[in-house]
Amino acid sequence: MNKLHTGSVYPWQTELERFLEQLEITRNRVEDSWTRQRKLTMLEKLVRAYTLHQDETGAIIDPHSESERYYSTPSYALAAAVLVKEGRHDLLESAAAALTHSIACVVEEKAPDQHPDFFPIMMMGAYRLLKHLLPEQATAWKQQLSRIEPEQTYIFTMSKMKNPNRMINWNAIMMSGEFLRAAEGLAADAKWMEAYIRSYHLPRFTGLGLYQDGPLDRPNSPFAYDIVTRFHLGVMLENGYDGGSALELRDHLRRGALSSLLALSPHGEIPPRGRSAQHQWNEAAAAFVFTTHAQQAYTAGERGLAGAFRRAADLCWQAISRWQIDNGKLHIVRNHYSSEARHGFEVYSNHTCYSLWTAAVLAHTLLYGEGIERIAPASIPAEIGSRVLETDGWFQTVIATVDGQQMLVQTSVNDPYNIPGIVRIQQTSLPSLMGPSSAGHADRGFTGFAEGDIFPLSYSPAWQTEDGKWHSLSEGIPGTLEFDRDGGIDPQDGGGSVQVEQSSASDGATDFTLLWRGPFPGVREIRTHYRQMRGKIEVEYELQGNIQHVGALIPLMAYDGRERSVIHHVMSAGEETESIRVEYAGASLEVIPTTEGTNVVWPEELTSVACRNGLLKGARLECTGSRISFIIRLPE
């Protein structure tokens, strides 16, 4: 087959080509029922849930804080305008009122919560759709929009910040809307953007096309802000951006789309690392990226790739739809706690804002995806074949998939917000949260929880030192500097290193070994070996150092805010072998020790551990020696 164009060497080129060859051989066609009409119905239900919260000025009022929050109103304006375009004409007046109010907020520098940078892309999207329907109002909108001075109006500009490290996702988000304003003739030009793109945004892209958000000298690289920044820059390209950085930017976004496709879970979720993880807008942004790249691939004659992108977009819609409740609103984070509880919310997470921003991004996806139904959906990489992928830059994640099953190992050893170990297991036959789907934290960082203890709990090695104390790899390596959730961390601080010692993928299996070195208490080196097959993950830990016992931490899904799991400590005949079985949402998962003499212990500090999805309960496997192994058995 011909190699796909990815510019210079694409790190995952071999895995990408192998996947496309598998698609050609299997000629796999997927019927997933995610038609454009179904997507419109989901969007309309979400938007109309907030029409009830619009006041006489056009603002959307958050029912929990009883005030207008962040960029809820322009998000509503765009989403409602797209629905008007699709024939829901009764929303015209409401959409127009929200747009009028939003423009006034920016021009008068009164944007709620000081977030004007997020307004222009949604205001301009709504303006373009409504201006022909309401010509008199459009004249007033045009006059107001023409008054905006970017360096003065917005916050994340060099004029305001005077700091290149602060030219993060906010700046790219603002520019995407400002490009649309220039394209409409409402700004002098868009040439000023070139310096920002060239100096502050292109350097953040890795070889995989992933955008590293955070300070330039030590980006903290959340997957959420990778995907959302690529969404905004993608809107610019879709609208004709052809500046001096266009070719390089297009290559980065192409690579990023391919990488997101290869990393997407079988449940349609992006990896969970970093702040804002598991918020529904993550997958909304991914849906846009996959939709636009499906159409680009189809136009280029890459029909198999186009089908996989189409399927990936549909799975993202499906991932979000699972969390839409009967009244149309969303659980904005993947748990069933009430919005008032704010479990798993970041300090800045707001129910109305993030519900409506999700709606706005999905509306963009429909707006730019009118031709996607001509593309037949095909399996995504997580559904067929086997591969082990190591992210580049500061994303510090190893992704292993085999035939509808995926496991993620984070390799950050000195970041208390992103702990090391297996942090997610998902399989098509399991409920998405069961694996579990997220780990605990050593430091809550931005995240708040309604209940549960903060503890670094993941599938990770543990050991007892000669002083009788237990430690684990998930604790990481303490740095010399206090953790700064805003500024990120220096990956060299505190020492330590991780390397992929070996990895392989064959039909129906993946196999890889990580070597961890660092100043761990009592331990010099740790090898973690993972062999994965459909329905089974075999894990072995080997430690070198002065220890009394070796162990393994086992995170178990306990409570999602609505449903509690049933956790069994199983003793076999004669009580010579112990194991663990978890029953949750009609499915079961087992953890079975395979090292002779292993005991299952339930430490008090692991009784109730907070995670984004609810609560985890932790067990510890313990035995003598320097090695311990176990099997995670999943339904096939």
Confidence of residue 30 (pLDDT cuts 50, 70, 90): confident
What is the domain partition of the chain in residue ranges? 13-374, 386-633
Identify the pLDDT of residue 1: 27
Identify the pLDDT of residue 4: 43
pLDDT in tens, 304-327: 999 999 999 999 999 999 999 999
Torsion of CA 298, 301, 302, 307, to 10 degrees: 40
Identify the pLDDT of residue 359: 98
For residue 333, how many C-alpha atoms fall within 13 Å in the half-sphere facing its CB?
A: 32
* Total residues belonging to the chain: 636
Q: How many angstroms separate the CA atoms of 175 and 193, rounded? A: 7
Confidence of residue 6 (pLDDT cuts 50, 70, 90): very low
- The more confident residue out of 485 and 578 is 578
Residue 229, SS3 per DSSP: helix
Residue 454, SS3 per DSSP: coil
Mean pLDDT of 217-231: 94
Q: How many angstroms separate the CA atoms of 122 and 359, rounded? A: 11
DSSP 549: E
Q: How many angstroms separate the CA atoms of 594 and 181, rounded? A: 62
Q: Evaluate whether 13-374 and 386-633 have a shared fold.
A: no
**pLDDT above 50 for 573:** yes
pLDDT in tens, 176-216: 999 999 999 999 888 999 999 999 999 999 999 999 999 88
Task: For the beta carbon of residue 466, count every other beta carbon within 10 angstroms.
Answer: 10
Cα separations (Å) of 143 from 137, 153, 154, 171?
10, 16, 18, 24
DSSP assignment of 601-633 equals: E--GGGSSEEETTEEEEEEEEEESSSEEEEEEE
Identify the pLDDT of residue 108: 97
Helices and strands of the chain, counted as H and E runs: 15, 18
Q: What is the mean pLDDT of the chain?
A: 95
Asked whether 621 and 605 are in contact (CB, 8 A), the reply is no
Identify the pLDDT of residue 211: 98
- The more confident residue out of 139 and 371 is 139
For tokens 């969970």, the residue is 272
- The more confident residue out of 416 and 281 is 281
Strands (E), 411-476: 421-427, 460-465, 470-472
Identify the pLDDT of residue 2: 33
**pLDDT above 60 for 459:** yes
Which top CATH class is 13-374? mainly alpha
Strands (E), 161-296: none
**pLDDT above 90 for 572:** no
Confidence of residue 243 (pLDDT cuts 50, 70, 90): very high
Identify the pLDDT of residue 5: 47
pLDDT in tens, 97-138: 999 999 999 999 999 999 999 999 999 999 999 999 999 999
For residue 386, what are its two tokens? Answer: 């086997």
Identify the pLDDT of residue 341: 97
Q: How many angstroms separate the CA atoms of 112 and 122, rounded? A: 15
Asked if the bond preceding 135 is cis, omega within 30° of 0, the reply is no
Second CATH level (architecture) for the domain 386-633? Distorted Sandwich (2.70)
Q: What percent of the chain has pLDDT over 90?
A: 90
**Is the sign of the CA dihedral 251, 256, 262, 268 positive or negative?**
negative
Q: How many angstroms separate the CA atoms of 306 and 310, rounded? A: 6
Radius of gyration of the chain (CA): 25
